[in-house]
Structure 1
């Protein structure tokens, strides 16, 4: 009979932000813990640990997913993207990140990574998203600082930039 204190660990292999990744985890390890503690991807935040706040949102095979509700072993062979993948290179912001900065769409920044990941996944599929659609996308995220107006303004601007449209020079602070 196996000892109860001897938990069997499993190596999982998947793609993380476009590069091969391997991490050894217990069967009960959550993806948030594997990313943060096993692989150093600390941009994925742990908020409510119940899938409600959205701070832990990552993309798994292109779809937004709550990493706090996903067992790490479930991503074997998958493509996982975290907020670290949004920057095109170190020291340079991606389109969504730059729009958030421009519109002051973050304050404490805790919820930001999850919101960015949901918006990124949506805009990849729907580059002509409307303000109403983008508002719906972030509806599953809790932000206690900004009141959402700057977040929506940043999302609308990022969508326009990704479509190749010109943007106004002064950000709105609605």
Structure 2
């Protein structure tokens, strides 16, 4: 079974202007938690998008993200998450995950297994793909979810404007 990254590890590939991946270790991400600092302007776009996406993921765990994240949420944000009402706004999505986590009573445990950042031409739009493994929803079930977070660059910062999450059927034994 793949092991989740520990805090401070990153799997984003080095930026395309680096010589080869073997010569450059993956950049280290700041630790992600509800009080983590905003991007400081020194991160490459790839690292910044992975960091922002991991901060967004805090809501999946039922945690409140840091207040500075609101500046990175587009006013047109919509989400499509399997088994949730479609076209949810950011506040609706946050509330839905609070409800899920409260109902699970500590048994729902989502972890990020992999992150891939794809910055489009001209660096104004990007997709971040996240592979998640979750146990406990429903109880004793383990499954994977693929998420695509769509970002755009506005007013000098990345803003998430769409989230899509597709859960796989459970292909595992009960946990």
- TM-score between the two structures when normalised by the length of structure 2: 0.29
Q: Kindly indicate which of the two structures has a greater share of residues assigned to helix.
A: 1
Greater C-alpha Rg? 1
Q: Kindly indicate which of the two structures has a greater share of residues assigned to strand.
A: 2
